[in-house]
């Protein structure tokens, strides 16, 4: 055997080892499922493919939790993990699923709206694959997903994504972004089918309010806010004022731009009778000029570089040594959602939605998010779901 052949065998074995070592964590993350304990209010769990059968069997199909009250009333849809690297929405949605009791009307929750994105990670940014939320029974492990669907499920990307039906030219990657593919179509690319299925859900169920939970960089102007089109702006403004007055945190209102297509806060309102709202919480982890992208930064939101930028007035939110912790972000989402639902119920009593047992901002900041998540090991197996 020649010398070069020996070296070739050595390097082939070394590269094979590297490939296997790097592939195992990605493979495990793609197949890891988060246990969710359906709380006392959950009356049924179905798949999104119920509203569009061609989603069945794809990585984009996802669980839809129904919490139906004894009394008829209005309906609210909560969507989280539209962007799976913005986890405060998922946590706020899980707190609802595991705790909420609906007395009147129906609460529908899709905790992982872009399921394909949630089983992928963002290349190049050094994201960790998982994060843990401390709970009284130990840390609860979650996947830290990506903003866009996995290329394993939607590939290849086009040069330019042409939005349907407006034909607006969007970035190539937006074909995998479930907040650019609204209102979708039944035979379109995978993410258009996801949004179309959600539109079908809203149309068939006659959903009154749709809330899409997000997070955004502190250096991005549309952060710490409620984004609403004109038809929802009155309710959004009332919710914003009331959370400020009663709970002491800012959450201003941003108007949904008419000329920017594909976003939930634009298309849901234009293509259905539902009133859309998109909530943005500030996530320091997503800002570019931070230190290492660690689990700690994700959870406590403390970063010295952002602090320095804050002193130079470069951020769009107040920022000090206390950072912007996860519990505060989850608490804001929870309170703003409850306030929008309350304000809508006040305005339309015949379509009221009464939800009990969901913690608000002050309780979440005091007790922590994990306090409201239940131990799957102690749960009745029939109430256990994996998302």
Partner 1 sequence: MILAQNLVMIAYYVVSAYLTAVLIRNFVQEKKSLDEAVLILIVLIPLVLRLLRIK
Which positions touch partner 1 (CB under 8 A)?
2, 4, 7-8, 11-12, 15, 18-19, 22-23, 26-27, 30, 54, 152, 155-156, 185, 187-189
Based on CB atoms, which residue is closest to partner 1, 24 or 46? 24
Q: Residues, the chain, total?
A: 387
Based on CB atoms, which residue is closest to partner 1, 54 or 132? 54
**Least Å distance between CB 4 and partner 1?**
6
Tell which phi-psi region holds residue 323, choosing left (phi > 0), alpha (psi between -120 and 50) or beta. Answer: left
Question: Shortest CA distance to 97 belongs to which of 377, 338, 373?
Answer: 373
Tell me the torsion sign for CA atoms 283, 319, 247, 278: negative
Helices first, then strands: H and E counts in the chain:
10, 15
* C-alpha–C-alpha distance, residues 43 and 62, integer Å: 17
**Least Å distance between CB 147 and partner 1?**
16
**Least Å distance between CB 2 and partner 1?**
8
Tokens 């293509």 — which residue?
Answer: 271
* C-alpha–C-alpha distance, residues 102 and 132, integer Å: 29
The kind and range of the H/E element at 306 are helix 304-311
* Residues 249 and 128: beta-carbon distance below 8 Å: no
* Residues 140 and 132: beta-carbon distance below 8 Å: yes
Based on CB atoms, which residue is closest to partner 1, 134 or 188? 188
**Least Å distance between CB 9 and partner 1?**
10
* C-alpha–C-alpha distance, residues 297 and 27, integer Å: 25
**Least Å distance between CB 25 and partner 1?**
10
* Residues 87 and 73: beta-carbon distance below 8 Å: no
Based on CB atoms, which residue is closest to partner 1, 126 or 138? 126
**Least Å distance between CB 190 and partner 1?**
8
**Least Å distance between CB 191 and partner 1?**
11
Environment class of 346 (CB within 10 Å of its CB; exposed 0-12, middle 13-18, buried 19+): exposed
**Least Å distance between CB 189 and partner 1?**
6
**Least Å distance between CB 63 and partner 1?**
23
Question: Shortest CA distance to 70 belongs to which of 109, 107, 104?
Answer: 104
Based on CB atoms, which residue is closest to partner 1, 155 or 305? 155
Tokens of 144: 């830290």
Strand partners, 19: none
DSSP3 helix / strand / coil % (the chain, rounded to 5): 40, 20, 40
Based on CB atoms, which residue is closest to partner 1, 7 or 137? 7
Strand partners, 302: none
């Amino acid at each position: 055997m020649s010398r070069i052949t020996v070296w070739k065998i050595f390097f082939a074995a070394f590269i094979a080892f590297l490939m296997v070592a790097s592939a195992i964590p990605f493979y495990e993350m793609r197949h890891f499922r988060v246990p969710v304990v359906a709380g006392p209010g959950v009356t049924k769990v179905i798949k999104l493919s119920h509203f569009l059968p061609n989603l069945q069997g794809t990585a984009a199909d996802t669980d839809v939790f129904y919490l139906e009250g004894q009394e008829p009333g209005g309906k609210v849809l909560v969507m989280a993990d539209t962007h799976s690297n913005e986890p405060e929405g998922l946590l706020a949605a899980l707190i609802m699923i595991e705790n909420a009791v609906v007395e009147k009307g129906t609460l529908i929750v899709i905790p992982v709206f872009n399921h394909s994105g949630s089983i992928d990670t963002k290349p190049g940014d050094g994201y960790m694959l998982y994060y843990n939320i401390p709970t009284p029974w130990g840390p609860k492990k979650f996947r830290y997903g990506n903003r866009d669907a996995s290329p394993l499920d939607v590939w290849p990307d086009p040069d330019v994504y042409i939005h349907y039906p407006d034909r607006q030219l969007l970035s190539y990657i937006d074909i995998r972004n479930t907040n650019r593919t609204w209102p979708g179509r039944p035979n379109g690319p995978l993410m258009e089918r996801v949004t179309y299925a959600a539109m079908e859900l809203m149309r068939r169920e006659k959903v009154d309010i749709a809330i899409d939970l997000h997070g955004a960089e502190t250096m991005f102007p549309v952060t710490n806010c409620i984004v609403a089109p004109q038809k929802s702006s009155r309710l959004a403004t009332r919710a914003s004022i009331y959370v400020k007055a009663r709970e002491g945190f800012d959450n201003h209102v941003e108007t949904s731009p008419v000329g920017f297509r594909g976003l939930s806060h634009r298309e849901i309102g234009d293509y259905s009778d539902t009133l859309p709202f998109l909530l943005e919480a500030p996530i320091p982890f997503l800002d570019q000029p931070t230190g290492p992208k660690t689990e700690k930064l994700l959870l406590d939101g403390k970063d010295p570089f952002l602090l320095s930028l804050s002193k130079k007035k470069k951020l769009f939110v107040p920022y000090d040594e206390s950072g912007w912790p996860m519990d505060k972000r989850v608490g804001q989402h929870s309170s703003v959602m409850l306030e929008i639902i309350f304000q809508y119920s006040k305005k339309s009593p015949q379509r009221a939605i009464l939800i009990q047992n969901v913690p608000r901002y002050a309780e979440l900041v005091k007790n922590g998010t994990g306090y409201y998540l239940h131990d799957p090991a102690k749960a009745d197996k029939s109430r256990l779901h994996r998302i």
